[in-house]
Amino acid sequence: MDEFQIIKQYFSHGTDSSHIPVSVGDDCAVINVPAGSQLVFSLDTLVAGVHFLADADPAEIASRALRVNLSDLAAMGADPLCFTLGLTLPDFDADWLEGFSKGLRETAEEFECPLVGGDTTRGPLTISIQAQGTAPTGGALLRRGAQVGDLVCISGPLGDGAAALATLSGELPVDAEDLAYLNDRFYRPMPQLSLGKKLRGIAAAAIDVSDGLLADLGHICQSSGVGADIDIDRIPVSSAVLKNSPQEQWLPWVLGGGDDYQLCFTVPEEKTQALYGLMGADEFDISIIGTIVEGEGIRSRHDGALLAASGYQHFSTRKTSS
Ligand code: ADP
Ligand code: MG
């Protein structure tokens, strides 16, 4: 099968979106950007053996690749519009392509973000996805807006991504139920798109947690010229993590493990009522974990110690709960 047959058979998903007059098959896709909106886009590349195991289920690789890109759109408060795919394949493998394209199509349909073009080449297995979205002009959520006094919030549990990797490598044995939960969190991270949209006009700064809380909140702090004080006891951790690992093991996952794809965002005082409104809604699982302060770096509110992604020792014992 040549490149053109591969594209036709596996990646010409088609779309009936009114925003997309021209999709896969021409030299370029043509997209209508709604009036009053800005185009918001980002690209992520996943390399086999580096970002995922080469023998992982191709449908799950596809699902994860698209979801992590959608998570970047969520962090900007953007609505998904469409995406393109750069696919490098070592050889033609019909079963792999069937699984990959099915996982990709299902995820694209779930998030109403169709595939509109790409490039197909031969070489070491590599997947690049560029997701496009829109946000009202001037309304995208940026990293650089945090101000002293803002509350620091997180959209859900941290540490699951790193715990999932530990189960995959055999380092963390867990029961079938927790394995299913962690696998799901790793391969099907939920891009926080509806929260991202609701945070427009509420959050001062936002980022998705792909590299770990300290690294990603650190980006907000650096871009905004501020520091943060964090209550470690308030960071949400799933029961699948708390149940199966001691604190010395999970704390570095929570602070420094990536792959969680929660949103970390800051909310200024005048918007706290709106924040409480979101926190009261069943749809979301937001926790307030700290405040933005003057200075730089991220400190424990407990004792003022500067936090590092690994080896933070001064932590009060917490109860097991989710
Ligand atoms: P060109 O040589 O003009 O770049 P290509 O042969 O690379 O054209 O691509 C032909 C069409 O197929 C284009 O519309 C391109 O966007 C699309 N395409 C190529 N590879 C992929 C892919 N992996 N997924 C989706 N669309 C693809
Ligand atoms: Mg091309």
* pLDDT tens-digit profile, the chain (322 residues): 888 899 999 999 888 888 999 999 999 999 999 999 999 999 999 999 988 888 899 999 999 999 999 999 999 999 999 999 999 999 999 999 999 999 999 999 999 999 999 999 999 999 999 999 999 999 999 999 999 999 999 999 999 999 999 998 899 999 999 999 999 999 899 999 999 999 999 999 999 999 999 999 999 999 999 999 999 999 999 999 999 999 999 999 999 988 999 999 999 999 999 999 999 999 999 999 999 999 999 999 989 999 987 544 444 444 444 3
Ligand 1 atom 6 nearest Cα: 4
Phi, psi of 8 (to 5 degrees): -65, -45
Looking at this protein, which amino acid is placed at residue 97?
A: L
- As a whole number of angstroms, the distance between CA 115 and CA 12 comes to 8
Angle, helix 160-168 to helix 247-256, in steps of 10 degrees: 120
114: burial class by Cβ within 10 Å (0-12, 13-18, 19+)? buried
CA of 119 to the centre of ligand 1 (A): 5
For a ligand 1 pocket test, name from 119, 120, 121, 125 the mutation site with the most ligand atoms within 8 angstroms of its C-beta.
119
Nearest CA to 189 out of 240, 110, 259, 267 is that of 259
pLDDT of residue 17: 86
Phi, psi of 206 (to 5 degrees): -155, 155
The secondary structure element, H or E, covering residue 58 is helix 58-75
CA of 62 to the centre of ligand 2 (A): 20
Ligand 1 lined by 114 (C-beta under 6 Å): no
Ligand 1 lined by 149 (C-beta under 6 Å): no
> What distances in angstroms separate CA 49 from CA 63, 124, 281, one per listed residue?
17, 10, 40
- As a whole number of angstroms, the distance between CA 90 and CA 74 comes to 32
Q: How many CB atoms lie within 10 A of CB 36?
A: 10
Q: What is the sign, positive or negative, of the torsion defined by CA atoms of 277, 258, 73, 109? A: negative
pLDDT of residue 2: 86
- As a whole number of angstroms, the distance between CA 292 and CA 226 comes to 7
Q: Answer whether 225's CB lies under 8 Å from 294's CB.
A: no
- As a whole number of angstroms, the distance between CA 52 and CA 64 comes to 10
This prediction's pTM:
0.92
CA of 259 to the centre of ligand 2 (A): 30
Ligand 1 lined by 129 (C-beta under 6 Å): no
CA of 108 to the centre of ligand 2 (A): 21
Ligand 1 lined by 108 (C-beta under 6 Å): no
Q: Which residues are bridge partners to 180 per DSSP? A: none
pLDDT of residue 310: 57
Ligand 1 lined by 26 (C-beta under 6 Å): yes
For a ligand 1 pocket test, name from 23, 24, 82, 85 the mutation site with the most ligand atoms within 8 angstroms of its C-beta.
24
Q: Which ligand is nearest to the CA of 120?
A: 1
